[in-house]
Amino acid sequence: MRLDIITIFPEYFDVLDISLLGKARRAGLLDVHVHDLREWTHDRHRTVDDTPYGGGPGMVMKPEPWGEALDTLVPPQDADRPDPREPGSAHEPRPSGAAPSGKDSMAGDGATADAPPPDTAAAAASGSADSPGSPAGTSPPSQEAEASPSARVPRLIIPTPSGRPFTQADAVRYAAEPWLMFACGRYEGIDSRVAEEARTRMPVDEVSLGDFVLAGGEVAVLVMVEAIGRLLPGVLGNADSIADDSFAPGAMESLLEGPVYTKPPVWRGRAVPDVLLSGHHGAIARWRRDEALRRTARTRPELLKRLSPEKLDDRDRAVLREAGFPVDGEDVAD
């Protein structure tokens, strides 16, 4: 997966070189490119903001730098190639055109700003290409990547308090994308015309981490990148652990994960529940399910409204009744 991140604070993303995501980058599972928005400004102060039309406090990020950044990383193309990820979308441009120098602070090992775009990669390999390079840090794609129409355009994700909530389901969906681009807003946000114009040539999602406001989009992007990146095949040491995550599709959908324990079996007089030491896998699974239901009822009761009654068995219903959440409908689960 390729990630492009546009920000006025590129150093914010140095943390993506450590821990699981750092290992994923070094293993070639995650190709991260961070771009400084100020590289697309043309005044001595490298200005990216201005006062809002209509008055009011704060500043708004100017559309010109954002427009030039997106034009460079995802050049406009004709309207005849729909994006297969967005039925009815008007455009599907290829990622070609050289990015301004000095912008990609996290290009993959051995990558250069002069790598050929997808449509000239094969020619460049034979020494016959002389067209401009692709976005900074792009390595020549394989024939399989070139053949995949979904890899020609990124999905642009803009974190904003006014966006729809980002959920685990979004993380799962985004993890299946070949190319994501993040736009980190600051101040009062990005001029709304930027998202409007971008939608004419790529999928655009405006998402929120919750009902609170941050100083900028960088923290939100870090959260989303980690939530998405850990779902990529090969990133986690044990892929099965994803199935037990809170909110994971399947048995844990709309539920919080219950308590977890490790050695020693007794610590400061507090013992691990006997069932977890029993070796009885069925009983352990049932205990974990019960605890997930209880914890969700206690701390996030609104999530229980999303449970499908037909997927609850008699034990589930009994646990929920004890927790004060009787479930209507007939039992159809085993």
Mean pLDDT of the chain: 81
pLDDT of residue 327: 84
Q: Dihedral through CA 313, CA 314, CA 317, CA 321, nearest 10?
A: -170
pLDDT in tens, 69-107: 999 999 886 333 555 455 444 433 333 333 443 344 443
CATH architecture under which domain 2-237 falls:
3-Layer(aba) Sandwich (3.40)
According to DSSP, residue 36 is labeled E
**Predicted structure pTM score:** 0.74
pLDDT of residue 253: 82
Q: Residues within the annotated binding site for S-adenosyl-L-methionine?
A: 185, 209-214
Three-state SS for 169-191 is: HHHHHHHCCCEEEEECCECCCEC
pLDDT in tens, 297-332: 999 999 999 898 988 999 999 999 999 998 875 543
CATH superfamily, region 240-322 = tRNA(m1g37)methyltransferase, domain 2 (1.10.1270.20)
Separation of alpha carbons 48 and 63, rounded Å = 8
User: Among 15-29, 84-98, 198-212, 223-237, which is the least confidently predicted range?
Assistant: 84-98
Please determine, for residue 188, whether its predicted confidence score (pLDDT) is greater than 50. yes
Residues of the chain with CATH 1.10.1270.20: 240-322
157, 205 contact by CB (below 8 A)? yes
Q: Residues within the annotated binding site?
A: 185, 209-214
- pLDDT band at residue 248 under the 50/70/90 scheme: low
User: Among 210-214, 216-220, 292-296, 325-329, which is the least confidently predicted range?
Assistant: 325-329
Separation of alpha carbons 296 and 95, rounded Å = 43
pLDDT of residue 64: 98
- Of 322, 320, 324, 323, nearest in space to 307 by CA: 320
As a whole number, mean pLDDT of residues 165-170 equals 95
Residues of the chain with CATH 3.40.1280.10: 2-237
Element (H, E) at 71: helix 63-73
